[in-house]
Amino acid sequence: MAQKPSIPKGTRDFSPAETAGRNYIFDTIRSVFRTYGYVQIETPAMENLSTLLGKYGEEGDRLLFRILNSGDAFSGIDFDSYCIDKRTNSYDSRALSAKVCEKGLRYDLTVPFARYVVQHQSELSFPFRRCQIQPVWRADRPQKGRYREFYQCDADVIGSDSLLNELELVQIVDRVFGLLGISVSIRINNRKVLTGLAEIAGFPDKVVDMTVAIDKIEKTGLEAVEAEMREKGLSEEAIKVIEPVLLLSGSTREKIACMRTMMGGGSASGIVSETGLKGLDELDELFGLISAASVSQEVVLDLSLARGLNYYTGAIFEVKANDFQIGSICGGGRYDNLTGIFGLPGMSGVGISFGADRIYDVLKGLDLFPESIAESSRILFANMGDRELRYLLPVVKSLRDAGVACEIYHEHSKLKKQFDYAAKKSIPFISIVGEDEISRGEVNVKNLTTGEQKSFAASDIEHLISFVCR
């Protein structure tokens, strides 16, 4: 009996139009990465679970897709010893899955990259700039805009702490969204400044709680942020130190100057933070480089930007579309010890990740995809019979060799049917070559939009191409 076909929840088929749109995004990003000396690598979809486990927190471990060991995965396992409650057949799932699964699907591109760098360090020259565009898998609860399989497009440079790298990532973002025609604002912060802020507030150990709270200011407002900080144990005095930072306005230069005063001992607490001052130096230098490089898109210092990720140690980036509400479409930052877990300490790196799914939605929503990418074929050659077909074959081959996408209707049938096919597939030109054209050695072409019709010598492919491709 026939099965009703379906795909696992949270996964997607991509239609020809969607795939073309996605390729347009990937190709654009890849071409820009390349001009900045980033070279592409690929890593396997499956990694050893020992590589993945413990790298994404408890939640991440739970969301890994695990691959059942091949062969006889269950033999020799004493299931009773994993049983928690015999009546309900409850088992210690974590221990049992570790027993029957040794591999998992990659959860992001960063951990496989760290693993790659350590494993291949002798083959690489540092600083090593790599880009990687591959799918990742997460067993998240599927919901609108969240999928269990999605692509990440990452660029990271490892083995250099120069802020030139940060500048170049900003330039890459600038160029990619410039080419895609999306107006964005690039928000920048520095993790050291957030650390400094926690220090001058007198709660150096609460930097994570503080940044998690601050990160929400755009969504929930000042009062809710302060309430959350209180809840997390920050004192009223601490909040008094932090509040002016949240309300800071003015130019980037002014913001940095004001923060410098505070970090230098000028806040309500009078505490000096060397880390905070170092972060401000970095921001100062980076913004100086950005103006020297004449970045086109808006770049702003946003001291509330935290991006939740604990492993950033310097710059933090986030990019939002100005004309489309969808959250962050690109983000990243500097981390100081990514490869340490795999035995290669002291490698500083900085990277960004483009969110292809959201970028797709922005391009679609703002109607920014170039028209040409959705097109399957530029011209349909009607099939008028065997003799006509043989006459056309070399003509069509020349067009294809020149890169023009063509179709010959697959069988000799009524012209109406062939026209309908062209219309349904939005093929913009049709050619109907019959006995007359053959006797004159010609090929005629009709523009199906304007109705314009032209004849070309079968040997004059060049003019035919400029007619159908102009």
Contacts to its own copies from residues 45-64, by CB under 8 A: 45-48, 50-51, 63
Helix, strand or coil, per DSSP, at residue 422: helix
Binding mask 375-404 for its own copies (x = CB under 8 A): -xx-----x-----xx--xx--x-xxx-xx
Question: Tokens in use for 198?
Answer: 């926690």
Give the containing element (helix H, strand E) for 394: helix 386-401
Pairing of strands 128-137, 39-40: parallel
Residue 342 or 467 with smaller CB distance to its own copies = 342
CB 224 within 8 A of CB 216: yes
Residues in the chain: 470
Residue 119 or 328 with smaller CB distance to its own copies = 119
Residue 322 binds its own copies (CB under 8 A): no
Piece in contact with its own copies (CB under 8 A), picked from 30-38, 186-194, 304-312, 447-455: 30-38
Question: Tokens in use for 164?
Answer: 């030139």
Piece in contact with its own copies (CB under 8 A), picked from 97-105, 183-191, 192-200, 242-250: 97-105
Binding mask 412-431 for its own copies (x = CB under 8 A): ---------x--xx------
CB of 204 to its own copies, least distance (A): 28
Residue 261 binds its own copies (CB under 8 A): no
Residue among 248, 258, 289, 469 that touches its own copies (CB under 8 A):
289
Residue among 59, 76, 367, 439 that touches its own copies (CB under 8 A):
76
**Angle value at C-alpha 348, between 344 and 353, nearest 5 degrees:** 110
Q: Which residue has the tokens 């900080």?
A: 229
Residue 120 or 463 with smaller CB distance to its own copies = 120
Residue 56 or 91 with smaller CB distance to its own copies = 91
List alpha helices for 67-163, DSSP H: 93-100, 110-119
CA 121 to chain centre: 26
Residue 47 or 318 with smaller CB distance to its own copies = 47
Site for its own copies in 429-448 (CB under 8 A): none
Question: Tokens in use for 370?
Answer: 């170039």
Distance CA 190, CA 254 (A): 16
Site for its own copies in 120-139 (CB under 8 A): 120, 123, 125, 127, 129-130, 135, 137, 139
438: region left, alpha or beta (phi > 0 left; psi from -120 to 50 alpha): alpha
Strands (E), 192-327: 298-301, 312-321
Give the containing element (helix H, strand E) for 151: strand 149-158
Piece in contact with its own copies (CB under 8 A), picked from 71-79, 203-211, 225-233, 245-253: 71-79
CB of 193 to its own copies, least distance (A): 22
